[in-house]
Amino acid sequence: MVFLLLKVRMMRIFFFFLFVGVLWGQENDMKYYQYNLWLRPSINMDYLRLEVIEAPENESLKNKKLLPNYPVNLGLSMGIYNTFVTVGYSKSIVPLRDTDKYGKSKFFDFQVHSFFKERFLFDLYYQDYKGFYYTDKANIRLLNDTKIHQIGSELLYFRNLKEIALEQLLNHGKTQFGTAFGWYIGGGLYYHKIDIPALSYVNSNEVFRHIQAGVSVGVTGNINLTDNFTAFTLMGIGGYFGGEMKPLSKMKLNGYNNFRLLLSGVYTKKDWTFIFTVQENNKQLYYRKNEQIDINSSNIEISCIRQFRFQTKYRNRVMELLGM
């Protein structure tokens, strides 16, 4: 039932973006154009850790890691090769630990990925987490009202030694093309809203709003281990500037570092692709008087891609304008 609701919601979101981002035109000579539609159901565990580095008013939280109750998420992504938008949606369905002892965590994730000009990737995401706990001298302390919202956008430029189109490199499930290595460079803008009432004894309703922007660089590698099995990796670092938006006119800029790692094992057989992915991402935030919180995000995902081929008399004019 949950997966059916996800599928219905994904269909609505997908066709909305397809209507906004793609203009279709009709050929008078009734020429037919072929497209490949893909669906990607997944099950994953998104594990976000908040680490309080500096001393807050509540000393019991100093150097503590605030953890979620390992929510298992069900997701669905879909898209059409050689079109403008890929949409992904994920929502928590069940915790892995006892909710009476570790509390209940909720997670929502929505992402849009766009490939264009064969070298550029545009990413837009919204993530919402609620419900954490921490360990204090072997005791479990619940932080059910702790919340974090993340909104981010990135534009990345990719190059590889074999001159392979970016969509072919990153959209698993297409024809294999052999071993390839490359690099990327780009920039991004990120917004975080953090609500941790337990940090303060004075103002438990204090909410931190933080914005940062910067650049990142990294390397990619794709190795065909067999005719059907491929290993893919992406690793990068970034440097960012930003600060707390309260108030914006008095924002104090700080420097931040970022690290990301992605490892994937991909098995392809005809129109089916099975993928195991591990991701790690580390961010830093400063608030108040340079008090620091680290945001460490880990994701483990098992997914499969099913391709469907269809043809239509309509062509995609947006892709022609973008030179694709």
pLDDT over 50 at 24, yes or no:
no
Read off the pLDDT band of 166 (50, 70, 90): low
Q: Which of 278, 244, 287 lies closest to 260 in space, CA to CA? A: 278
- Lowest mean pLDDT segment, chosen from 1-5, 151-155, 228-232, 309-313: 1-5
Q: For the chain, which domains are there?
A: 2-321 (2.40.128)
Tokens of 135: 């360990």
Q: Which of 200, 286, 197 lies closest to 244 in space, CA to CA? A: 286
Overall average pLDDT of the 270-298 stretch = 83
- What pTM was estimated for this model as a whole? 0.75
Overall average pLDDT of the 87-106 stretch = 80
pLDDT over 70 at 12, yes or no:
no
pLDDT of residue 302: 92
Q: In sequence order, which ranges of 138-224 are alpha helices (DSSP H)?
A: 166-170
Overall average pLDDT of the 40-59 stretch = 78
- Lowest mean pLDDT segment, chosen from 13-22, 53-62, 74-83, 295-304: 13-22
* 123-151 per-position pLDDT tens digit: 889 988 899 998 888 889 898 888 999 99
Distance in angstroms between the alpha carbons of the first and the last residue of the chain? 39
Which residue pairs from 277-282 have beta carbons closer than 8 angstroms and sit at least 24 positions apart in sequence? 277/301, 277/303, 282/257, 282/258
Tokens of 156: 């990345």
